[in-house]
Amino acid sequence: MGSYTLKDVETALVTTTLDTTGVFDGLRLASAFQPVFSLAHGRAVGHEALLRATDAAGKPMPPLDAFRKATQSGQTVLLDRLSRAIHMRNFTARAQDDSSWLFLNVSPQAIVEGRLYHAPFFADLLKSAGIPPHRIVVELLESSLDQRTELDSSVNFFRELGCLIAIDDFGAGHSNFDRIWEFRPDIVKLDRSLVQQAYRDPMVRGLMPRICSMLHESGALVLMEGVETESQAMIAMDADVDFVQGYYFARPAPGLDAEPTGGASFDTLFDVYRRLALLEQRDYQAEVTQYARALDLAARQMKAGETLESAASRFLALPMAERCYLLDRLGRQAAPALLAPRAQAQADPRFLPVNNISGSNWARRHYFRRAIARPDQVHLTRPYLSLATAALCVTVSISIRVGGELCVLCGDIAWNEKMSSGDRSIDTALPTLPG
C-alpha cells in the first residue's frame, strides 16, 4: 500500500510549460500557495502548498473530501505523494529565490501507512525537484499526534533529513503542551480559532503573549494563521508571533507572492500598533493614577506618624480598591490586611482558605522586589491573578520606613475586562488612535 515509487507517481503527472497537475481517480489536482509572512522582515519567507481538486465537470472538491475518497479506495499514500510531487514541481518552477520555505501538509494516515517507504520516495522527490531538505517544512496536524509510536519514526526521518517540523492547528480541540515538549517542533502554527477567540474576549487576548512566550521558550517559532482583518493583525503583533498567514495578507493563489496582496502594509501595521499600544497605555495610566497617588499619600502620612488604618482610608475609599497591607523587609506580612468595604461585601466564600493573607510571604512578587530595589517610588504591576481572591488585580507598592524599619506598603485594585481599555474592542479603538 505504501510502496509507491516516484516513477509510479510520475505516471499521474501532467506537466506543461506553465505548471504541473495530476490525475487521480477522476479528479484533476493542482497547487495553490498561500504566503507565510514574517512580521519583522515585512515579506514572505515561505509558502504553504494547498491542494486544489476538481472533478470531471470542473466542480471543486475540498481536499479533505479528496482524501476521504482516497481512503475508501485504499490509495491515501498515493494521493499524499502525488500532491507533494505536484507542489514541489510548481514551487520550484515559480520560486524567485533559493532560500524561502515550502510548507507541506503530510497526511497522518499516509505517514503511518507509508513510514517504511519514506526514505527512497522523499529523497528521490527532493532530488528530482531540485529542492534541498532545509527548505521543506513538514506540517503535522496537532490532532494526529496521538499516534505517537507510529509517527516517531517518520518525524525523526524528516528531521534527520534536514527538514523543519511544524505542528499545525495548535490550540484547536484537545491541544496541550505535552505535544510540544515531546515533538520539539521548529514551528508551531496557532489555529485560527485562537485569533478569533482573542478578538472576541479581552482575557484570551491577554493570554496570547504568554502562550507565545512559552512556545518560544520551548525553542519553537510561532505562526498565527487565519488572520483576516487589521484587528486580528494587531492581536498577532501584540502576541509577539513571528509569522502570520491569512486573507488579510494574501489569499492562496497559483503564484508565489512575496508581498501582501490583501491590502496590508507592514509599515502601516507597525505604525497602527505603536499608536494602539500608546492608547492602551494612556487608558491604563488614567485608570490607575488615582490609586497610585492615594497610596503615595498614605506612605507620606505613615512616615509622619499616622497609623496604617488612618493613612490607608483614602486609598480604600476608591471605587475598585480591594485591600491595603504592610510587608516587612523580607516580604512577610505580619498584620492582617485592611479591606475596603466593597471587598468585604463581595468576598467569595469559595476562596476562604486563601482569603486571609495575614502571615503570608510575598517576597517573590515583583511589586515587593521593585519597591525594595527602588525606594520612595510608586510601582504598579500589570493585571495578574490574586491568590487572595482568585481574580485579576493590580498592586500598587512603595517602600517606606516605619519605626526605623524598612517596609513595603501595598494596595490591591480589583481589575476586570471592563476597566480601562478592556471595554473597548480593537475595532472601536482603531478609529480613535492618537497620531
Give the total residue count for the chain.
435
Place of cell 493590580: 394
- Domain edges within the chain: 6-264, 290-414
Band of the pLDDT at 108, cuts 50, 70, 90?
Answer: low
What b/e readout covers 40-57, taking b as 16+ CB neighbours within 10 angstroms?
A: eeeebbbbbbbbbbeeee
**pLDDT tens digits, residue range 343-400?**
888 778 888 787 777 789 999 999 999 999 998 899 998 888 888 887 889 999 999 9
- The whole-number pLDDT of residue 425 equals 56
- Please write the tens of the pLDDT for every residue from 199-214: 888 888 888 999 999 9
Please provide the CATH number assigned to the domain covering 290-414.
3.30.450.20
Q: How far is CA 25 from CA 67, 82, 217, 422, in A?
A: 11, 12, 45, 53
Please report where in the chains the cell 497605555 appears, as a residue: 281
Residue 275 has pLDDT above 80, yes or no: yes
Residues 13, 31: contact at Cβ < 8 Å? no
pLDDT band at 177 (very low <50, low <70, confident <90, very high): confident
**What's the pLDDT at 310?**
96
State the cell numbers at 403: 519605626
Report, as an integer, the average pLDDT of 226-252.
95
Instruction: Tell me whether strands 321-328 and 338-339 are parallel, antiparallel or unpaired.
Output: antiparallel
Residue 152 has what pLDDT? 75
Closest by CA position to 314, among listed 327, 329, 299: 299
Environment class of residue 91 by beta-carbon count within 10 Å: exposed (0-12), middle (13-18) or buried (19+)? Answer: buried
- Please give the biggest Cα pair distance in the chain: 92
If one compares 385 and 92, the residue with the highest pLDDT of the two is: 92
For 116-136, give one letter per residue: b (16+ CB within 10 A) or e: ebbeebbeebbeebebebebb
Residue 147, pLDDT score: 58
Quick one: pLDDT band at residue 421, thresholds 50, 70, 90? very low
| Identity at 329, one-letter amino acid code | R
pLDDT at position 417 over 70: no
10 Å CB burial of residue 382 (0-12, 13-18, 19+) is exposed
pLDDT at 282: 81
pLDDT of residue 313: 96
The rounded mean pLDDT for the chain is: 87
pLDDT bracket for residue 423 (50, 70, 90): very low
User: What pLDDT score was predicted for residue 416?
Assistant: 65
User: Between β-strands 392-402 and 379-380, what pairing exists: parallel, antiparallel or unpaired?
Assistant: antiparallel
> Which tens digits make up the pLDDT trace of 278-291?
877 787 888 889 99
> Would you place residue 18 in the very low, low, confident or very high pLDDT band (cuts 50, 70, 90)?
confident
- Would you state the pLDDT for residue 143? 61
- What span, in angstroms and rounded, lies between the C-alpha atoms of 392 and 318? 17
Q: Which pLDDT score is estimated for 383?
A: 83
Cα 402 from Cα 388, distance rounded (Å): 25
Percentage of residues in the chain having pLDDT higher than 70: 89
Give residue 116's pLDDT: 47
Instruction: Over range 309-319, report the average pLDDT.
Output: 95
Is residue 68 scored above 70 in pLDDT? yes
Q: At residue 6, does pLDDT exceed 50?
A: yes
**Residue 257 vs residue 203, higher pLDDT:** 257
CATH of 6-264, one of 3.40.50.300, 3.20.20.450, 3.40.50.2000, 3.40.50.150: 3.20.20.450
pLDDT at 175 over 70: no
Amino acid at 190: L
432 pLDDT exceeds 70?
no
pLDDT confidence band for 111 (50 / 70 / 90): low
Q: Is the pLDDT of residue 422 over 70?
A: no
